Structure 1
Amino acid sequence: MDFLTTVLLLLVGAGGGVALANTLRKRTGITDVRRDSVLLLERIEKVFKVVMAEGYFSEIYNYQDQKKILYVLNDPKKAMVIAKSKVLVGFDFAKVRFHAPDNGEKKLVIEFFPQPEVLSIDTDYKFYDIQAGILNHFSGADYTQILDEAKKAMNERAMQSDLPKIANNQIQYMMYQLASSMGWQLQLPEAEQRKLDALKAQAEEATKNQSQLLTGQ
């Protein structure tokens, strides 16, 4: 076998191998996809935030933007977003102001206690019915604006629900129980103290009723 024949056989073999590899790749659906990500840590902060209530919400958000071509023809674009969120409501204890009496009395006086707030919103967004205009197309900034507005609407809906009230009741009763277990007396601001006293009365009544049911009286 001469040199030319050997080269031809090698080329044919190599070509056949490439063709076979391509065929197998197409049949198995294997694609070579590479993704790169970079994680940037901006800062770490110490916080003292306590979650007292958790709620789940679904929201349908309709976005529409009207744009005129040559100030005459409408060129609208619109999209519908379905958002499902888990909302955590609680308190930032860094905002609490309190003191203990100088006479050594086991009493914790709360001078100021913050209102409940949304601590986090974990949302899953899905876009439906996206319709771009002829010249009025969607940009990355448009999608960012839509998600920001949908998240803002979810925040407002959560604060208008029963979550803040539930969180308030939870934190006050928890603080009362914790102070009592350590032999301390808890004194809240007047308005909050009335709420706490009402909660304590309800808890005592519920315990009394449960005891009567167990004893059959």
Structure 2
Amino acid sequence: MDANSVFFFILTLFIGAGAGIFAYNRLFSKNSGKSMATTESTVLLESIEKVFKVVMAEGYFTEIYNYQHDKNFWNLIKDKKKALIIAKAKVLVGYDFGKMRFHFSEGDRKMIIDYFPDPEILSMDTDYKFYDIEQGWLNRFQSDDYTAILNEAKQTMNDKALESDLPRIATNQVQLMMFQIAATMNWKIDMELAESNKGHIKELGKYHPTQAKIENLEIDEES
């Protein structure tokens, strides 16, 4: 092989290698631009507190929430937006024993409760889904609208949970638990509550049946 042939062979190798590297870089950069994503997150721990909260009842709720907002522009154009929201929540009701006031009588082996707090919602896990979202040309949904809708739906769910039978169940459960634990340790519990507190706890422990009225149906029987 003469010198010209060797030179031509080496030149062909360099050109082919360069074209291959160029094509590979173009293909890699094109694909990587479409598929690669970078995310960053920062978690800040603000505080840690010791608590003595005990869950006594658990409930599941579903709420169908209709939202509609009508807007009138100069009494000429009426524009509305509306949405259907289905909200689901898991609600945990219990007691914060840090709010309870009590003292001990060592000689009598008694735990004397001076104040008994109300049951409260300790946790609420919610899930929202929006359906049938409609909006006009001028009256459109903004981020603040979604935030307001979710806050109102969550507050409604919170109110319904407190109006449900969960507080009664939690009240009866916590008293049963406390008396059973005291009995296993040969202690007694005395509830020396103020009259207002005593009456309130007694009322919470009552079962309130749903008031429902069923109308009589008139049925015409024809033979």
> Could you tell me the TM-score, scaled by structure 1's length?
0.75
Amino acid at match of 1:145: A
Question: How high is the sequence identity, in percent, across the aligned residues?
Answer: 50
Q: Report the alpha carbon displacement of residue 33 of structure 1 after superposing the two structures with TM.
A: 2.5
1:109 paired residue among 96, 107, 112 = 112
2:141 paired residue among 129, 138, 162 = 138
Please tell me the root mean square deviation across aligned C-alpha atoms, in Å: 3.0
1:13 paired residue number? 20
Amino acid at match of 1:164: P
Q: Distance in 2 between matches of 1:194 and 1:2?
A: 100
Does residue 87 of structure 2 align to residue 91 of structure 1?
A: no
Matched-pair contact (CA < 8 Å) for 2:118–2:201: no
Per mean C-alpha deviation after superposition, the further-off stretch among 10-19 and 136-145 is 10-19
2:166 paired residue number? 163
Amino acid at match of 2:24: G
Q: Report the alpha carbon displacement of residue 138 of structure 1 after superposing the two structures with TM.
A: 1.7
> Could you tell me the TM-score, scaled by structure 2's length?
0.73
Q: Report the alpha carbon displacement of residue 14 of structure 1 after superposing the two structures with TM.
A: 4.0
Q: Distance in 1 between matches of 2:176 and 2:94?
A: 14
1:150 paired residue among 148, 153, 159 = 153
Q: Distance in 2 between matches of 1:135 and 1:194?
A: 54
Matched-pair contact (CA < 8 Å) for 2:90–2:125: yes
Amino acid at match of 1:119: L
Does residue 41 of structure 2 align to residue 34 of structure 1?
A: no
Q: Which runs of 5+ in 1 are unaligned?
A: 199-217
Q: Report the alpha carbon displacement of residue 4 of structure 1 after superposing the two structures with TM.
A: 8.1
Does residue 104 of structure 2 align to residue 100 of structure 1?
A: yes
Amino acid at match of 1:171: V
Q: Report the alpha carbon displacement of residue 192 of structure 1 after superposing the two structures with TM.
A: 7.7
2:59 paired residue number? 55
Per mean C-alpha deviation after superposition, the further-off stretch among 112-121 and 38-47 is 38-47
1:81 paired residue number? 85
Q: Report the alpha carbon displacement of residue 17 of structure 1 after superposing the two structures with TM.
A: 3.2
Distance 1:69 1:99, change over 3 A: same
Amino acid at match of 1:50: V
Q: Distance in 2 between matches of 1:105 and 1:145?
A: 55
Amino acid at match of 2:139: N
Matched-pair contact (CA < 8 Å) for 1:65–1:77: yes
Q: Which runs of 5+ in 2 are unaligned?
A: 1-7, 207-223
Distance 1:70 1:42, change over 3 A: farther
Per mean C-alpha deviation after superposition, the further-off stretch among 158-167 and 76-85 is 76-85
Does residue 47 of structure 2 align to residue 43 of structure 1?
A: yes
Matched-pair contact (CA < 8 Å) for 1:187–1:193: no
Cα distance per residue 1:30-67 (max 9 Å; x no partner): 72222222222222222211100011111111222222
Q: Distance in 1 between matches of 2:140 and 2:94?
A: 40
**Structure number, greater radius of gyration:** 2
Does residue 190 of structure 2 align to residue 187 of structure 1?
A: yes
Cα distance per residue 1:81-119 (max 9 Å; x no partner): 111111000011111111224x72211111110111111
Distance 1:194 1:149, change over 3 A: closer
